[in-house]
Structure 1
Amino acid sequence: MKYFLGTDHAGMNARDFIVEYFAKNRIELIDLSPNIIQKVDYPDFAKKVCVQVLKNPDSRGILVCGSGIGMSIAANRFKGIRAGLCTDAYMAKMTRAHNDANILCMGERISGLGEMESILEAFIHTEFEGGRHYQRICKIEEMDQ
């Protein structure tokens, strides 16, 4: 599984932590975040990650800004993207198991790095349950039309 990461200026500490986490766990991660700490517009980085996730159907994305709210709103504008804003491991587990989320959104000003690690673990290691949840996702996708 390949992951794409995007942060804005408010998510740079989380970015460094996430890059290290993926390297330590030998999981492929492509970092699309800004190279320097300067104020940037989060929709630009949400778009970069969403475009790559849509081009690579077996991939997932991770977006981090100050609260995670802006990134999740921006990401969910893309047809085919199901972005879940998670502040704890239970939310991350459910966003994968029940919603088949392909993008994880987090807020650096909301979750500490230890909490982010447990969120990442849950998101990465939880599979979609399908069944009745698949039917519900289909209903959501019909709303795009």
Structure 2
Amino acid sequence: MVIAIGSDHAGFHLKEHVKRVLASEGHELIDVGPESPESVDYPTYAEQAARLVGSGEAARAVLACGSGVGVAIVANKVSGVRAVNAHDPGEAEMARRHNDANTVTLSGARLAPVEADAIVERFLVTAFEGGRHARRVSQISELDGSAVQASVPG
């Protein structure tokens, strides 16, 4: 799977960890940065990763900042992106199953790498259920003018 990945300085260590894990699992990664833990502005990197998802160049994105909130706000401004700031694997699963979330955001300040691994893994393996949820995802897509790009269940 092609996955865009990015962070700010507060999420840099978590981004680098997740990047190593995903690469070892055979995923194709597009790392939009940053390349060091020096202070940067998270909107720059969150937007770049989200645009890759919105355009279809990446199937999913994983973003990290101090809380996961800032990068989620930015990502959700991009047409076609449905980002969730997941705190545990159950939230990641439900966001995929019911909302067809295509971007997961993580807290570099609150999550240990092993916790992030579990969240990202569940996010990537969970399929969108479709059905009544597809109607709702379509309604969300109408808000940002994006074509409905819900995943195929299964």
TM-score range, shorter chain: over 0.9
Q: Give the equivalent residue in structure 1 for 2:64.
A: 64
5+ long unaligned stretches in structure 1:
none
TM-score normalized by the length of structure 1: 0.94
SS in structure 2 at match of 1:98: helix
The Cα RMSD (Å) is 1.3
- Partner Cα distance (2:28, 2:127) in 1: 18
Q: Give the equivalent residue in structure 2 for 1:48.
A: 48
Output the amino acid matched with 1:96: R
Q: Deviations over 1:115-143 (max 9, x none)?
A: 10100110010010000001111122223
Displacement of 1:89 after TM fit? 0.2
- Partner Cα distance (1:89, 1:36) in 2: 28
Change (3 A) 1:119 1:130: same
SS in structure 2 at match of 1:40: coil
Q: Give the equivalent residue in structure 2 for 1:113.
A: 113
Output the amino acid matched with 1:63: L
Output the amino acid matched with 2:10: A
Output the amino acid matched with 1:114: V
**Percent of aligned pairs sharing the same letter:** 38
- Partner Cα distance (2:110, 2:128) in 1: 26
- Partner Cα distance (2:41, 2:104) in 1: 18
Count matched residues: 145
Displacement of 1:20 after TM fit? 1.1
Change (3 A) 1:57 1:31: closer
Could you list the runs of 4 or more consecutive aligned residues of structure 1 that deviate by over 3 angstroms after TM superposition?
none
5+ long unaligned stretches in structure 2:
146-154
Instruction: State whether residues 53 and 80 of structure 2, in contact with CA within 8 Å, keep that contact through their aligned partners in structure 1.
Output: no
TM-score normalized by the length of structure 2: 0.89
